[in-house]
Each structure stands twice: as structure tokens, then as C-alpha cells.
Structure 1
Amino acid sequence: MRVKFPEQRVIFLCLSAALLATSVQRQAAASSVLADNSTINQPPSENLSPFAEPEMPPVGEPSLYLPSPETEPTSTIDNTSLVIKLSQRRVYVYQDDNLKGSYPIAVGKAGWETPTGRYQVIDMRRHPAWEHPWNGKVIPPGRDNPLGVRWIGFWTDGRNFIGFHGTPDESLVGQAVSHGCIRMRNQDVLALYALVKIGTPVTVEP
């Protein structure tokens, strides 16, 4: 499933501080330090490389998909990686190259196959809302939401996303029925969400 999220509100907390100077010399020194620091610690730019993909409907502006700090949890397990085996309809969880477990999944159907390759987790959301790509209807979090209780995105072309997510119809897990996404039982995607973080490697194999 190529998915779209409605824009989320981000609340910024602004902190103010007063600087007290006892002399003109201390004020000048503080200004010099601030000037020096303004040239370092610049945030790195982030570039998402597009990947080849089948025809798909447009689903909105890329800015709606950018992860916020509120959706980037810290993994409780270091050196975790995920391997999706499409033919087996399972995702395997590794820690330091040691297999720790696996979960059944649903994968992309014919014409909407899940793209193979090496990726990484780029977006994580709790209780995601979903916007229908054809009619624009927004389905809020809840029992009927097609994304279930969690979203873990790992592929994008700049407009569309593919990732792991829950489903309201768990009977379809194990089949090739999605528009490219990896569907999981809600209890399984909850467990997987707790094991990964932004940057976790994801490999998709045939």
C-alpha cells in the first residue's frame, strides 16, 4: 500500500535566557564565541534517493511524510536489522547477525510488487491516520484504519511510501494482497516497532 499521512502539528518549545555581563570586555568575548559557534554544528542535509517502482497514483506532498522528533523512538536493541523474504512471506529480525525471531507478513500483489533491495527505516508513526490516494478521504486511527496501530516506512520515491504496518483484516497476512507495503498482524507490528529505530537497515529479498 502506498500511503499518505495528513499533516501533523508540531509544537516547538522556545527557551529564553538572559546574559549578564559585568564588563564591556566580557560582552565582546561572549559575542566572539557566539560568532565562532555559528559556523559549526550545522545540521546535515538529507537526500532521499528515488527507487524504480511500478505505476502508482499520486498521494500528495513529500512534506506530509517527513518524520518528526515525536515519531523517532529509540530502539531498545542495538545493531538490529530486518530481512524481508517475499517468497516466504516473512520478515526476519537480526541482532548482531544473530536471528532473534520472525513474523508472517502480507506482501505486494501482482503489478504492485514490494520492491527488492537494501533500504532503511525512514519514518515511524504510532496510531497513524490514512488518506485515500484516489478520493482524499482521511480515515482516522481506529479499528477500520488500513494501517492498523503502527507504521514503519522504509521506501520512498519522494511522493509515495512503502513500509510495515498493521491491518484491520489479519486473515490476509501471509498473502500477496497489498500495493507494495508489508502488512502484519497488529500484535506483531507492535513488537517490531519496539525493536527498530530510524536508520535500522531493511533488506528485501525475492
Structure 2
Amino acid sequence: MSDQPDSHDPRPRVVIDLEHQTLDWFGADGDHQRWPVSTALNGPGENDGSGCTPRGRHYVRALIGQGQPEGTVFVARRPTGETWTPELSRQQPQRDWILSRIVWLCGLEKGVNRGGQVDTFRRFIYIHGTPDTEPMGEPLSHGCIRMRNRDVITLFDRMEPGVPVMIQSR
């Protein structure tokens, strides 16, 4: 079975390519869109505490942030009441910004990205927004998949729980 999406498969799905730092959306209506992303600075990997982006088959477990303004700051999946600004960023330079929307992933492969010390869901691996000052197309995150705020909102609005997500490195 190929990890590449079948262009005739009517189900929506996401493919994240760690080598090329891209996220592809394949919609049920034949819609296809590609965005640049930023995955883990530490590269691919599944272990808890590694700071790596997990590979393999996943699905969308939860969608968080519906209706929140672009740039909404989240901590522990809750809006803080803040909106990201360059000034706020300068005041807190070490903060790992999770902005606008959260697409929380859950692994499907026992012992690879599900269960024990490799559990994507328990590692809090998300697709989420990041400040527009952060580069895309290069790995810099702590394990999550970062997107531009407008891009993650566009993706989020097309998603629903259960959508398959493949994270691959070639």
C-alpha cells in the first residue's frame, strides 16, 4: 500500500513531507493545496521528550480554536486572551508561540506513534499557527508542524476530526 494519496480517493486527507517542509491538503471535492511548514529542528523521531516530529499514519483527534481571531495565543490548548504582536514577542523571547488554531494529532501505528513513549497524542503534537516572523520551509519547531496563521486557519476550516494525516520523510 502506497503512502501517496490516490487522486481518485474521495476522502479528505493531509500529507506532510518532512524533507520538503510542505503540507498537502487533498479535499473530498478534488481540491488540492500545498503550504510551506516548519517541522522539528531535531528532525524526525517518535520518542517522548525528543523534540522530534513523529512519522507515520495519524488522524485529526481534535480541532481547537474555531472562531478565535487570527493570532490568538494558546497555552495548554486554551486561549490566553492575548493576541500575538511583535511587542509581546519581544517581551517574551523564549516563548514557543502556538497561535490561531490547533489541529491535535493522534498516531495510528502501535509502537511507532501510538502508545508508550512514542504516543503522538500524549506528546501534544499539533499542526498550529506561528508568528509570521518565523521562517517556513525549514525545520525549527519543538516537534509540532508550524504554519502561517492564515494558512492554518484555511486548513482548519476544511478539517474535521478523523481526517487522516500522513507524516513522511523520504
- Identify whether the pair has TM-score above 0.5, normalized to the shorter chain: yes
Alignment of 1:21-40 (within 5 A): none
SS at match of 2:162: coil
Q: Normalization by structure 2: what TM-score? A: 0.64
Q: Provide structure 1 residue ranges, at least 5 long, that are not aligned to the other structure.
A: 1-77, 132-137
The structure number with the bigger radius of gyration is: 1
Question: Which residue does 1:153 correspond to in 2?
Answer: 104
Question: Which residue does 2:161 correspond to in 1?
Answer: 198
Structure of higher RCO (CA pairs closer than 8 Å, 6+ residues apart):
2
Cα pair 1:130 1:140 within 8 Å, conserved: no
Cα pair 2:73 2:97 within 8 Å, conserved: no
Question: Which residue does 2:92 correspond to in 1?
Answer: none
Question: Which residue does 2:74 correspond to in 1?
Answer: 129
Deviation at 1:112, TM superposition (A): 2.3
Q: CA RMSD in A?
A: 2.5
Q: Distance in 1 between matches of 2:137 and 2:97?
A: 16
Residues 90, 97 of structure 1: CA spacing in aligned structure 2 closer, same or farther, 3 A cutoff? farther
Q: Distance in 1 between matches of 2:134 and 2:125?
A: 21
Q: Distance in 1 between matches of 2:53 and 2:12?
A: 21
Q: Give the number of aligned pairs.
A: 123
Higher helix share: 1
Residues 122, 141 of structure 1: CA spacing in aligned structure 2 closer, same or farther, 3 A cutoff? farther
Q: C-alpha deviations, 1:62-104, integer Å up to 9, x for none?
A: xxxxxxxxxxxxxxxx721000000010001113595611100
Question: Which residue does 2:55 correspond to in 1?
Answer: 116
1:179 to 142, 161, 168: 142
- Structure 2 residue identity aligned to 1:107: T
Cα pair 1:153 1:162 within 8 Å, conserved: yes
Q: Provide structure 2 residue ranges, at least 5 long, that are not aligned to the other structure.
A: 1-9, 43-49, 66-71, 90-95, 108-118
Q: Distance in 1 between matches of 2:81 and 2:141?
A: 20
Deviation at 1:172, TM superposition (A): 2.0
